[in-house]
Structures are given as C-alpha cells and as structure tokens.
C-alpha cells in the first residue's frame, strides 16, 4: 500500500495534466522549485497514479552529479 492510495484519482488533476502536457515525445522538461515545495512528492504522485505506458517518467537524482 502506498501513501498515494489514500488520495482520490482526480486529486489536483488540472495541475497534473498541465505538467504532463508540457512534455512532448522526444523532449525533456525540468521541475524547479524551492526546497520543501513538494517537487519530489509531486513526482511520486504522478509516478504512482499515471499509467507508465502513456506517460513514462525518468527520475534522476541530480545530487549525485
């Protein structure tokens, strides 16, 4: 069971769609924000709730670069 199972499938759907629509096939996007703004939580939510075949995500830990 995941933390995200407690959230409705349409939680902040407008914002999620805006983010997913920003990336087109073959393009890259970045999510930038202040520390503690919820970037990792947002990516976790999208990764858990969206179907991977239609919205593949690549999560990269840039702290190690």
Q: What distance separates the 2 farthest-apart alpha carbons in the chain?
A: 35
Residue burial 24-52, b: 16+ Cβ < 10 Å; e: rest:
eeeeeeeeeeeeeeeeeebeebbeebeee
Q: Residue 54 in 3-state DSSP?
A: coil
Residues in the chain: 65
Tens of pLDDT, residue by residue over 10-32, are: 888 888 888 778 777 777 778 88
Q: What percent of the chain has pLDDT over 70?
A: 77
What pLDDT does residue 17 have? 83
The answer to whether residue 35 scores a pLDDT higher than 90 is yes
Is 20 or 60 the better-scoring residue by pLDDT? Answer: 20
What pLDDT does residue 1 have? 60
């Amino acid at each position: 069971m995941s933390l995200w199972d407690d959230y409705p499938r349409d939680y902040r759907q407008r914002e999620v769609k805006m983010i997913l629509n920003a990336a087109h096939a073959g393009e890259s996007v970045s999510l930038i924000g202040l520390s503690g703004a919820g970037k990792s939580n947002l990516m976790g939510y999208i990764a858990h709730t969206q179907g991977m075949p239609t919205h593949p995500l690549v999560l990269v830990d840039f702290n190690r670069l």
